[in-house]
Amino acid sequence: MTPTIAIIGGTGLTSLNTLEITHRENQSTPYGEPSSPLIQGKLSGRTVVFLARHGLHHTLPPHKINYRANLWALQRIGIKHIIAIAAVGGIRNDMAPGVLAFPDQLIDYTWGRQGTFFDENLTQVTHIDFTEPYCPQLRGRLIQAAQLLNLGARESCTYAAMQGPRLETAAEIRKLERDGCDIVGMTGMPEAALARELDLRYATCAIVANWAAGKAAGEISMAEIERNLQESMARVKLLLTELVPIIDPS
């Protein structure tokens, strides 16, 4: 059966051991090579595709990811729904390390990334509606699955997409908080906008890996981030197992 659901794995999820792999497919696109092979398999009895956003060995920094190739390759094989997994920093007081959050809004602070398919050989200028950057229906399924599992996920928040690869300063986080941002990451854009341009249903499951800069005493260490992500991934995989069967394939 042709898969219609894809999972894009971020930091901490470069592979999905709950996926019964049936085959791997290397894709070439008009925009270059995707971050990783498209790995197809069975999850909860449904055929899904997994793509490692940062590469199979986590070698691609956020600003070097070929977002256009990733989304174009998924759309070409028939994907209609994308669940994007993302590690983030927590800004809001209830966004402690280990929390799962499903953003419903975002603010884009990135620059210099290839952020549209509509920039060359155009017959007309194309604008997409981006009032709601995440698919409400797919977010609803995420919320439903999390509630069934009693995961205590945050069901509404604003994602700040920063350039990276460095982490933010404490002053930058104070600005993001004044802007209304609740979590901060580096890969939310242009991925969400490109998905919308291709008419793909896209939603993010964010895992809070650390307190954002200045929100806790001391420096942010990669060891802390990796430890928090490792502890959270079992719940993420459980969530995906519950989520996939309740997504409408059409």
The per-residue DSSP string of 226-242 comes to HHHHHHHHHHHHHHHHH
Query: Which neighbouring-strand residues pair with 185?
Result: 161
Most confident listed range (3-12, 50-59, 81-90): 81-90
Answer with the residue of higher pLDDT: 17 or 8: 8
Q: Evaluate if residue 13 carries a pLDDT over 80.
A: no
What are the backbone dihedrals phi and psi of residue 83, each rounded to the nearest 5 degrees, phi first? -105, 115
> For the residues of 111-156, what is the DSSP string, one character each?
-SS---S-SSS-SS------SS-S-HHHHHHHHHHHHHTT---B--
For position 131, which CATH number holds? 3.40.50.1580
Q: Supply the pLDDT for residue 15.
A: 58
Q: Evaluate if residue 92 carries a pLDDT over 90.
A: yes
Q: Supply the pLDDT for residue 51.
A: 95
Q: Supply the pLDDT for residue 121.
A: 76
User: Structurally, how many domains does the chain consist of?
Assistant: 1
Can you give the pTM of this predicted structure?
0.94
Amino acid identity of residue 113, one-letter, is R
Q: Evaluate if residue 17 carries a pLDDT over 90.
A: no
Mean per-residue pLDDT, 9-14: 66
Q: Evaluate if residue 87 carries a pLDDT over 70.
A: yes
Mean per-residue pLDDT, 43-67: 93
Mean per-residue pLDDT, 55-83: 95
Other Cβ atoms closer than 10 A to 174: 16
Which domain, by its residues, includes 85? 5-246
- For the stretch 239-250, pLDDT in tens is 999 999 999 877
Residue with tokens 């719940």: 235
148's enclosing H/E stretch is: helix 136-148
Give start and end residues of each alpha helix (H) in 17-129.
67-76
Q: Supply the pLDDT for residue 68.
A: 97
Q: Supply the pLDDT for residue 126.
A: 84
> Percentage of the chain surpassing pLDDT 70?
96
Min mean pLDDT across 28-42, 192-206, 217-231 is at 217-231
Q: Supply the pLDDT for residue 18.
A: 72
